[in-house]
C-alpha cells in the first residue's frame, strides 16, 4: 500500500490593509496593490476597490503600456474613449481593456444611481506588447462562467481556470482572476501554476488560508508565498466570505511608472509624454477630444 499525501498549500507572506483614499473626482478608493507597502506585485501594478457616487468619477485621462480590468460589484459605470468606443457595465460585468500604445478615456458612474462599487486591476504588459493596438474584451455577468466545486462555493472564472471551468478572456500576460463566494464552514483548494505570483483581496468576511490557516479579513491584501507549490487551501469558519483570487506569470522586466504610463525605461516614459503632448504614436485621436459623459 502507498500512502496518499495532501499537497502542501501555499502560505500567506504578507497582509496589508487597504485604507480608503481620494482618487479621481469625488471618488473613494481602497488601494491594495500599489500602496507604499506593496508597490507592485509583478505582473500586477495596482488593485483599487472603488466607491463612487453619482457626482464623482474618473474624467478624461490617458494610459499606455498596460491593461486595466474593471469588474463591477454594485451599480453601473459608463466608459467612453477617443476612438468612439462607449458603453455601460453593471453588477457582475467585466471590461478588460488593453491600453497598449495609447488610450484616452473617461470612466463615470451612471447619474441615476446612488453609487458605483467595483474593482479595477492594472496588469503590466510585456515589452513586446506595450505598443500593441488597444483592445477591449467585455463580458456581461451572465457570460462569465462559474465553477461550483461544492455546495456553498461558487467561483466566477473571470480569467484563467478553476475546477475545470475556463474563461474565454485572452490574457497577453498569463493571468488568473477568480471571484470566490463561500458559505461558512467550507474548505476549497485552488490550483495555481507553480511559477505564478498571486494574492487574495478580501471583500467581505474572513477566510483561513494555507496549512497554517492564516486569517484574512475584509479589505486586506494577502500575498501568496512564491515557493513553487501548486495549490492554495482556503477555509471559512463561522461566517461567509467574498474575495478575489488573482495570480499571474511575473514578467521580470524593469518597471518605470509615471502616473498612467508604465514602460520599461525612463527614456520610454519621456517619449510617451512627448507622444501624448503632440498627439502622435497612438495618441493622434486625443487632439481636441473631450468625452461626453464626464
**pLDDT for 267-291, tens place per residue?**
999 999 999 999 999 999 999 999 9
pLDDT > 70 fraction of the chain, expressed in percent and rounded: 98
pLDDT tops 80 at residue 6: no
Question: Once rounded to an integer, what is the mean pLDDT over residues 5-22?
Answer: 91
253 marked among binding-site residues? no
61 marked among binding-site residues? yes
242 marked among binding-site residues? no
Assign 4 a pLDDT band (cuts: 50, 70, 90): low
Assign 254 a pLDDT band (cuts: 50, 70, 90): very high
- DSSP letters, 199-265, are EEEEEEEEEEETTTTEEEETTEEEEEP-SS--EEEEE--SS-EEEEEEEE-------EEETTEEESS
**What is residue 149's predicted lDDT score, i.e. its pLDDT?**
97
The predicted-structure confidence for 81-123, as pLDDT tens digits, reads as follows: 999 999 999 999 999 999 999 999 999 998 877 789 999 999 9
107 marked among binding-site residues? yes
Amino acid at each position: 500500500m502507498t500512502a496518499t499525501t495532501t499537497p502542501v498549500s501555499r502560505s500567506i507572506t504578507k497582509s496589508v490593509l487597504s485604507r480608503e483614499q481620494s482618487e479621481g473626482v469625488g471618488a473613494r478608493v481602497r488601494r491594495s496593490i500599489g500602496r507604499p507597502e506593496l508597490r507592485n506585485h509583478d505582473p500586477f501594478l495596482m488593485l483599487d476597490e472603488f466607491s463612487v457616487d453619482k457626482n464623482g468619477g474618473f474624467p478624461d485621462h490617458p494610459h499606455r503600456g498596460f491593461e486595466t480590468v474593471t469588474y463591477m460589484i454594485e451599480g453601473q459605470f459608463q466608459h467612453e474613449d477617443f476612438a468612439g468606443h462607449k458603453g455601460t457595465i453593471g453588477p457582475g460585468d467585466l471590461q478588460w481593456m488593453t491600453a497598449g500604445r495609447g488610450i484616452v478615456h473617461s470612466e463615470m458612474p451612471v447619474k441615476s444611481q446612488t453609487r458605483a462599487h467595483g474593482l479595477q486591476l492594472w496588469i503590466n504588459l510585456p515589452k513586446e506588447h506595450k505598443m500593441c493596438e488597444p483592445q477591449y474584451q467585455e463580458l456581461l455577468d451572465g457570460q462569465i462562467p462559474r465553477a461550483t466545486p461544492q455546495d456553498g462555493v461558487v467561483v466566477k472564472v473571470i480569467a484563467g481556470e478553476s475546477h475545470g471551468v475556463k474563461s474565454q478572456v485572452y490574457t497577453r500576460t498569463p493571468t488568473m482572476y477568480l471571484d470566490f463566494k463561500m458559505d461558512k464552514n467550507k474548505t476549497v483548494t485552488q490550483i495555481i501554476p507553480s511559477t505564478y505570483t498571486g494574492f487574495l483581496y478580501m471583500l467581505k468576511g474572513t477566510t483561513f488560508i494555507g496549512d497554517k490557516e492564516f486569517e484574512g479579513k475584509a479589505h486586506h491584501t494577502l500575498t501568496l508565498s512564491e515557493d513553487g507549490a501548486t495549490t492554495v487551501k482556503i477555509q471559512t469558519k463561522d461566517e461567509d466570505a467574498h474575495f478575489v483570487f488573482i495570480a499571474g506569470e511575473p514578467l521580470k522586466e524593469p518597471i518605470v511608472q509615471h502616473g498612467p504610463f508604465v514602460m520599461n525605461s525612463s527614456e520610454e516614459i519621456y517619449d510617451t509624454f512627448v507622444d501624448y503632448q503632440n498627439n502622435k504614436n497612438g495618441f493622434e485621436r486625443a487632439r481636441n477630444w473631450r468625452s461626453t459623459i464626464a
